[in-house]
Amino acid sequence: MNRWIKALATVAGRIKIKSELRRRIR
């Protein structure tokens, strides 16, 4: 369970960072 939560958290964090970078670039 902890592994799944950590994996989901990392994936969500990466998506959030990518979305923020795109917003800053534009």
Tens of pLDDT along 2-20?
A: 899 999 999 999 999 999 9
Query: Torsion over CA of 10, 15, 18 and 20, rounded to 10 degrees?
Result: -100
Q: What is the pLDDT of residue 25?
A: 86
Domain ranges of the chain: 1-25
Residues 6+ apart with CB under 8 A from 17: none
Type and span of the H or E element at 18: helix 2-25
Would you say residue 1 has pLDDT above 80? no
Q: What is the pLDDT of residue 11?
A: 95
| Residue 17 structure tokens | 């960072």
